[in-house]
Amino acid sequence: MREAIAHAGDRAQALRGRAGTVLFLAVFLFSWITLSPFVDLSGEAVLDQSARASSALNQLLSLGLFACMLGFGLLHPMRRIILQPRVLLSLILAWLGFVSVVLSSYPFQGIKGMVLAVISVVNASVFLLLPRCERHFAKLLGIGCLIVLSLAYYGVLFKPTLSIHQASEVLEQINAGLWRGHFRHKNDAAVAMVVMALFGLFVMNVWSRLVGAMIVCLAFVFLVNTGGKTSTAMLPAVLIVAWIFERVRILRVPMVIGGIALFNLFAVGSAIIRPLGDFVSGLGIDATFTNRADVWRLAFSAIAENPLVGYGMKGFWQTSQLVNGGGAVETWAVAAAHAHNSYLEVILMMGVPGLVLTLAWLVVLPLYHISRVDPANEHSHLTRLFVRLWLYVVFHACLESLFFEGPNPLWFTFLVAIYGLSLQTSATLAHEPRPQPQGNVAHA
Of the candidates 431, 427, 430, the one whose C-alpha atom is nearest the C-alpha of residue 372 is 427
Q: Is residue 345 part of a domain?
A: yes
| Spatial distance between the Cα atoms of 336 and 292, rounded to a whole number of angstroms | 10
Tell me the residue type at 374: D
User: Is residue 168 situated within a structural domain?
Assistant: no
The reply to whether 171 falls in a domain is no
Closest of 138, 119, 117 to residue 128, by C-alpha: 138
pLDDT at 221: 97
pLDDT of residue 89: 95
By the 8 A CB rule, do 70 and 126 touch?
yes
| Nearest residue to 395 (alpha-carbon basis) of 189, 231, 246 | 231
Query: How far lies 354's CA from each of 218, 395, 406, 429, in Å?
Result: 39, 19, 17, 33
Mean pLDDT value of segment 38-64: 72
Domain containing 106 equals 89-130+228-424
pLDDT level of residue 334 (50, 70, 90 thresholds): confident
Contact 34, 151 (CB under 8 A): no
Range 115-130 average pLDDT: 94
Of these ranges, 46-55, 184-193, 328-337, the one predicted with the greatest mean pLDDT is 184-193
Query: Is 7 inside a domain boundary?
Result: no
The Cα–Cα gap between 399 and 423 comes to: 29
Q: What SS3 state is found at 179?
A: strand
State the average pLDDT for the chain.
86
Q: Is residue 396 part of a domain?
A: yes
Q: Report the alpha-carbon angle 156-161-163, nearest 5.
A: 40
Q: Which helix (H) or strand (E) holds 385?
A: helix 381-396
Which pTM does this prediction carry?
0.90
| Tens-place pLDDT, residues 346-386 | 999 999 999 999 999 999 999 999 998 887 777 799 999 99
**Hey, is 82 helix, strand or coil?**
coil
The strand pairing partners of 164, in sequence order, are 179
Helix, strand, coil shares, percent, the chain, to 5: 70, 0, 30
pLDDT digits (tens, 9 = 90+) for 33-49: 999 899 888 765 455 55
Q: What angle do CA 263, 406, 230 make, to 5 degrees?
A: 30
- Indicate whether 287 belongs to any domain: yes
- Give me the residues paired with residue 179 across strands: 164
CA distance 228 to 396: 13
| C-alpha dist (Å) from residue 327 to 32, 149, 315, 332 | 35, 41, 17, 8
- Please indicate, yes or no, if residue 108 is contained in any of the structural domains: yes
Q: Is 164 helix (H, G, I), strand (E, B) or coil?
A: strand
| Residue 74 belongs to some domain of the structure | no
State the total domains in the chain: 1
The Cβ of residue 442 has, within 10 Å, a number of other Cβ atoms equal to 5
